[in-house]
Structure 1
Amino acid sequence: MTIDLEYSSSLNGASFLLFELKQVLKLKRLGLTNQEIRHKVKENNLFQFNNQGRINRALPSVMKRAEAIDETLASLVLEDSIEVGKVLNLYAIMKTDLLFFEFMDELIGEKLHNNDYLIEKKDINLFFTSKAEQSEKVAGWSDINIEKLKRAFLQVLFESGMLRTRKGKELNRLVMDERIKSHLTYIGDVRFIRAMGE
């Protein structure tokens, strides 16, 4: 399934959210509609956030990620190890966020393919500068928005296990389960495997 995407800074309010994705996937598995899921998440505070504003910011992204994952992958997220869940959540984020996918594909995946395990501030700055040159939309974002987005991207790398420490510069290679690799290959999503450094 391909989703037509344009650049967005929604990762600022959404970050990694693996626990939240699992909550939504459980409700989907029960056959609830998207509207029912949204209602249940808000009504019962299933994300366990302490304010409604945060739920409202995170929910659209989590719903999109849940849509991007097919039943086979959803079962792996719900029933397998946390490591498998992290890889699939990273995949869902890339699948629903064009800018983050390009960040992974053009910067992180490229570094890992060249056995370069260092991500530096200048690498990230260069990536955002080149995107601003290619896209009026990115060029129109405020410096504050872009700084927040850089932090959000690094936070996703850290939580997925691709960045060794929260404030560090050292990349880790993800251990990708063969079932994930073969399923993503089968559904035509090989480019996402490559973007994760495989």
Structure 2
Amino acid sequence: MDRNRKYMASLTREPFMYYEMKTTAKLKLEGLSDEEIIEKVFQENLYQYPTNRSLKTRAKGCLKRLSHLDDESLAWIVNRPTEVSKQVCLYAFMIDSRLIWEFMITVIGEKYQTLNYSYSSSDINIFLTRLREQNEQVSQWSEATFKKLKSVLGSLLRENGYIDNNKSTKLNLVMLDYKLKDKIIENGDEVCLPAFNYFNQG
């Protein structure tokens, strides 16, 4: 993760997108170029949206995240059980987004590390408020953007099994797939392991 990377408000338009990520990963494994994937998604409405207005934008967003993964990881998204597949997508999302990276490590990872499994939407509010106070770029985002970001972060936790629903008061104990754990370490990203409730005993 590049610590100098800017925080991107595009998260409001490009949330977790698991179905889209899996569809796009399959096309990449078939050998299509990024341009061919974008066009195929658009022409055939592969994401099954009611309109094609955001298809190209979402396809580009998926490709950007997937560009951080090797072919083996792409295959895991397509071929392994949903729980593992989603973890790989989450890892790609974290690498691609500084905001997601920091939220998952400094909020969720910190809770696991301190054995504090309490949770409420205020955890998201506090994180975004601090970010707003500490970063001039983020401080210029609109209230509507912050409201949407809260929804994106909440949905991200729910879709990946960290919480059961939006009214949850505790974090679930997620279990990191061992192959993905090895891949994260291999990539030099072990600092993010606590976000997956994994702590290297070494």
**TM-score, scaled to structure 2:** 0.91
The correspondence of residues 37-186 of structure 1 with structure 2, limited to 5 A, is 37-186=37-186
Q: Which amino acid aligns with 1:142?
A: S
Deviation at 1:93, TM superposition (A): 0.9
Q: Which amino acid aligns with 1:80?
A: R
Deviation at 1:136, TM superposition (A): 1.0
Deviation at 1:105, TM superposition (A): 0.8
The separation in 2 between residues aligned to 1:5 and 1:30, in whole angstroms, is 31
Structure 2 CA distance for partners of 1:88 and 1:5, relative to 1, 3 Å: same
Which consecutive unaligned segments of at least 5 residues does structure 2 have?
Answer: none
Q: Which has the higher contact order (CA 8 A, sep 6+)?
A: 1
Q: Which amino acid aligns with 1:190?
A: E
Aligned to 2:180, the other structure's residue is in SS state helix
Q: Deviations over 1:139-175 (max 9, x none)?
A: 0011111011011111011001111223323211221
Deviation at 1:2, TM superposition (A): 6.2
Q: Deviations over 1:18-40 (max 9, x none)?
A: 11111111111121111111000
Detail structure 1 runs of 4+ shifted over 4 Å in the superposition: 1-4
Q: Deviations over 1:120-147 (max 9, x none)?
A: 2332222111111221111001111101
- Conserved 8 A contact 1:10-1:61: no
Deviation at 1:42, TM superposition (A): 0.5
Q: Which moved more, 1:23-32 or 1:114-123?
A: 114-123
Q: Deviations over 1:36-59 (max 9, x none)?
A: 110001011111111122324422
The separation in 1 between residues aligned to 2:25 and 2:3, in whole angstroms, is 19
Q: Which amino acid aligns with 1:49?
A: Y
The separation in 1 between residues aligned to 2:55 and 2:165, in whole angstroms, is 27
Residue 24 (str. 1) matches residue 24 (str. 2): yes
Deviation at 1:197, TM superposition (A): 2.5
The separation in 2 between residues aligned to 1:125 and 1:18, in whole angstroms, is 24
Aligned to 2:62, the other structure's residue is in SS state helix
Structure 2 CA distance for partners of 1:46 and 1:3, relative to 1, 3 Å: farther
Aligned to 1:68, the other structure's residue is in SS state coil
Structure 2 CA distance for partners of 1:47 and 1:4, relative to 1, 3 Å: farther
- Conserved 8 A contact 1:5-1:96: no
Q: Deviations over 1:56-109 (max 9, x none)?
A: 442232111111221111111111100101111111111111011111111111
Aligned to 2:117, the other structure's residue is in SS state coil
Percent identity between the two aligned chains: 32
